[in-house]
Structure 1
Amino acid sequence: MTSPSEAANSLAPDLGSAAGRYRMLRLIRGFEELALDLVRAGEILGGIHPYIGQEAVAVGVCAALRPQDRITSTHRGHGHVLAKGVDPARLLAELTGREGGLNRGRGGSMHAADFSLGILGANGMVGAGGAIATGAAWSAVQAGQDRVAVAFFGDGALNQGVLLESFNLAAMWRLPVLFVCENNGYATTLPAGTAVAGSATGRAAAFGIPAVEVDGMDTEAVLAATAEAVARARSGGGPGFLECHTYRFEGHHTMERLMKLSYRTDDEIAERRGHDPLPRAAALLPAGLAAELDASVAEQLAAAKRFALESEHPAPEGALEYLYADGLRPRAGSTA
């Protein structure tokens, strides 16, 4: 089944202009709002971790990358994979568990991957993408490939040993990898200030990795910082680290609406909404262009929804398919 984007041959995002970046911001925001609606309607089972509010990080970083560059993502990863070029119709079908999905409905919200686009997978394990991206950067160097790898992670990953081990290896081997910390202030419901000793940039600097703080609600600021770090990595200067100060407008997970958690005040959320990256990006465009792009995105997402909900569910007898690289391998002596 061909998706609307594939039929229109429009999979590659245009992030080389302010208009293209604004459109991607709007696409990610609209995609997440649509996904929330489908969670409420029971079409997306298990819920999602919404990326609403943090769109400028994904767009700013991916705008500085080349198609052959690689990324690893997180449990809050829809924005990353969309900005790297994933077809929204395929991603939405994946979230709804359909055969037309990016990974035939097997990966779901937290494990979307597309190797052809350099997306080595979102990851439900906090901080795990750092090691994968470091390995991808090492592999590129060994193969003589001009590739940079980017690992996205949240502030909650700063206490994970695997991430610190990745910093060490990347610095020792001067690998072309960029570590991007999306500091939205909370690890689930735990304020970062009560869980992270020192600073995020200080941890990277301790390994000799150049570390920069940036306004993660400003797409252009993220792009500028990323472009500098990526150019340095690509020229053999080793890894870099960005701490993008951002904020999620929705809860950590859609389950929060049912649990009625109160770790953030309404005033805090309202204040942060005043830094919404979409109006800031729209202000850079000619009058009327943002509205045109909004309408274009709305049409694309409507088509994506139709594609997702019209795609078939996987057959139960195929539940064990795609577990291994060379197919199902039963244990010795098994009658399976």
Structure 2
Amino acid sequence: MLYVRLVEEAIAARYAEQEMRCPVHLSIGQEAAAVGVCHALSEGDRVFSTHRSHAHYLAMNGDLDAMIAEMHGKTTGCIGGRGGSMHLQAPERGLIASVPIVGGSIPLATGTALSDSLDGNRRVSVAFFGDATLEEGVFHESANFAVLRSLPVLFVCENNLYSVYTPLKERQPARPLADVAHGHGLSAETVDGNDAEAVLAAAGRAVERARAGTGPTLLVLDTYRWREHCGPNFDNHLGYRTEAEYLAWREKCPLERSRARLFDRGLLSAEAEQSMIADLTARIEAAFDAARAAPLPDPATAALHVYA
């Protein structure tokens, strides 16, 4: 979680330099959701991310140099500089694709889960998505199919309460999001998405069910993004959410909660933490230096990998 936070804060600090020309959707404040779920997975499992992909990519141990280079549009990026922040992928690590279309991750994970079910290899697929995706037909179609076939797939809803600037209460009825699963006979669990240990435990239960062939699970992870929907800034002045709400969620910072637990248990010291921060900061600085030094793609290759 510290790694994800430091990387994204570095992106935010450098974004105004205009070297990263792609849009960025930051997960600052939501780190426990990505880290907790991905830590419950094993080698060979597959993850499909969203437009807010950095945390999932890093939690799956995607290469940092390739990520930062991709955001700079360089040839050394994870897809050659063609996709930017919203299309990160590290298939060798299990992060198969990041899909900016709302709900686009869901049928992909359902499809790989079907493949794994037919092959009998006990792999698990994960679709990350936001709360607005529960309003998309593709969720209901995929959930229905996954339950009927007992597919090994996790539907992970990172519920940060907003779809861009529109709050949940203006988009959906006043009922728990997990209730959406009941009509499909889909197992569901709501979790404090800012508690890394709670997320890990719930994800572990869902993964175990999937591997055992007893079907898919919807995990609703309640969390909150601190910064604007798209971009490096804070946007409370726009009025779609209150400063009081934002500050209340800041008090639930997933890093601070885990940090306090580790200190209380004697598993982390101030010296060790500072050493971690120094090591990660140096690693991040090196990734930005490498990205700036890397070449831009040859314009003659622009027509490659384009299908009509």
- Normalising by the residue count of structure 1, what TM-score does the alignment of the two structures yield? 0.86
Which residue of the partner structure matches residue 221 of structure 1?
A: 198
Cα distance between partner residues in 2 of 1:119 and 1:244 = 20
1:231 equivalenced with 2:199 (yes/no): no
Aligned residues: 301
Q: For residue 206 of structure 1, give the secondary structure of its aligned residue in structure 2.
A: helix
Aligned partner of 1:133: which letter? Answer: A
Q: For residue 71 of structure 1, give the secondary structure of its aligned residue in structure 2.
A: strand
1:40 equivalenced with 2:10 (yes/no): no
CA apart distance, 1:260: 5.8
Which 5+ residue runs of structure 2 have no aligned equivalent?
none
Q: For residue 191 of structure 2, give the secondary structure of its aligned residue in structure 1.
A: strand
Cα distance between partner residues in 2 of 1:168 and 1:192 = 23
The CA deviation string for residues 200-236 of structure 1, in whole angstroms up to 9 with x for no partner, is: 2111122111111101001111000000110011011
CA apart distance, 1:39: 1.8
Q: 2:188 aligns with which of 211, 230, 247?
A: 211
Q: For residue 121 of structure 1, give the secondary structure of its aligned residue in structure 2.
A: strand
CA apart distance, 1:262: 2.2
Q: For residue 184 of structure 2, give the secondary structure of its aligned residue in structure 1.
A: coil
Tell me: CA distance 1:311–1:260, structure 2 relative to 1, closer, same or farther (3 Å). farther
Cα distance between partner residues in 2 of 1:268 and 1:258 = 13
Q: For residue 292 of structure 1, give the secondary structure of its aligned residue in structure 2.
A: helix
1:142 equivalenced with 2:124 (yes/no): no
CA apart distance, 1:47: 2.5
CA apart distance, 1:27: 1.1
Which 5+ residue runs of structure 1 have no aligned equivalent?
1-24, 325-330, 332-336
Cα distance between partner residues in 2 of 1:304 and 1:145 = 36
The CA deviation string for residues 38-58 of structure 1, in whole angstroms up to 9 with x for no partner, is: 321101114311110000000
Which residue of the partner structure matches residue 250 of structure 1?
A: 227
1:320 equivalenced with 2:296 (yes/no): no
Which deviates more, 180-189 or 276-285?
A: 276-285
Tell me: CA distance 1:181–1:258, structure 2 relative to 1, closer, same or farther (3 Å). closer
Cα distance between partner residues in 2 of 1:323 and 1:115 = 20
Q: Do the aligned partners of 2:227 and 2:234 also contact (CA within 8 Å) in 1?
A: no
Which residue of the partner structure matches residue 13 of structure 1?
A: none
Q: Do the aligned partners of 2:51 and 2:100 also contact (CA within 8 Å) in 1?
A: yes
1:153 equivalenced with 2:136 (yes/no): no
Which residue of the partner structure matches residue 188 of structure 1?
A: 164
The CA deviation string for residues 142-187 of structure 1, in whole angstroms up to 9 with x for no partner, is: 1222210010000011100011111011000000000000000101
Question: Percent identity among equivalent residues?
Answer: 40
Cα distance between partner residues in 2 of 1:319 and 1:259 = 39
1:277 equivalenced with 2:260 (yes/no): no
Tell me: CA distance 1:113–1:257, structure 2 relative to 1, closer, same or farther (3 Å). same
Which residue of the partner structure matches residue 287 of structure 1?
A: 269
CA apart distance, 1:189: 0.6
Which residue of the partner structure matches residue 162 of structure 1?
A: 138
- Normalising by the residue count of structure 2, what TM-score does the alignment of the two structures yield? 0.94
The CA deviation string for residues 115-139 of structure 1, in whole angstroms up to 9 with x for no partner, is: 2222121111001101100001001
Aligned partner of 1:320: which letter? Answer: A
CA apart distance, 1:293: 1.4
Q: Do the aligned partners of 2:227 and 2:235 also contact (CA within 8 Å) in 1?
A: no
Q: Do the aligned partners of 2:228 and 2:235 also contact (CA within 8 Å) in 1?
A: no
The CA deviation string for residues 246-269 of structure 1, in whole angstroms up to 9 with x for no partner, is: 000001011876996221122211
Tell me: CA distance 1:267–1:194, structure 2 relative to 1, closer, same or farther (3 Å). same
Cα distance between partner residues in 2 of 1:297 and 1:218 = 22
RMSD, matched Cα: 1.6
